Amino acid sequence: MSTDEDRERLAGHLAALPVRELVDVLRRVLPHFEQEAYGMRTALTLANVTWYEDDVDPGLDVELVAWPDRDHYGGELGPDQGLWENGRCPRCDVEVTSNAKRAHCPYCGTACALT
């Protein structure tokens, strides 16, 4: 078991990472918390949430953060540009975002081509 100080130190290290490196670390951790029971599968994922304060169409936009396709990027994490690439998972039909145009859905692992 870790202490509050241990967790705070870890949080400080994670907060210091650029987004693409933080996403890569979480890609290695979050899948360990998947569960299957009663015919359902649940998974922890990272999401990017945007609130639009628009008079015509206000609302919340939630996108799952897709893992960059490291094979496509020669083992690297893709461009260091923030979460600017968007699209849909062709299998889950969920909205995803990534720093890379080629990424994998964090829920099902399907390759996604983002724009």
1, pLDDT greater than 70: no
The DSSP element (H or E) to which 57 belongs, if any, is none
Q: What is the pTM of this model?
A: 0.90
Q: The tokens of 71 are what?
A: 């094979």
CB 105 within 8 A of CB 64: yes
Pick from 61, 60, 65: which is nearest to 98 by CA? 65
Paired strand residues for 56: none
Return d(Cα 19, Cα 8) in angstroms, integer.
19
Tokens of 81: 């540009």
Instruction: Say how far apart CA 17 and CA 26 lie, in whole Å.
Output: 11
Cα separation, 104 vs 14, in Å, equals 22
Residue range 56-102, pLDDT digits in tens: 788 999 999 999 999 999 999 999 999 999 999 999 999 999 999 99
Q: What does the pLDDT read at residue 96? A: 98
Are β-strands 95-98 and 59-65 bridged in parallel, bridged antiparallel, or unpaired? parallel
Q: Tell me the percentage of the chain whose pLDDT exceeds 70.
A: 99
Neighbours of 16 (CB within 10 A): 9
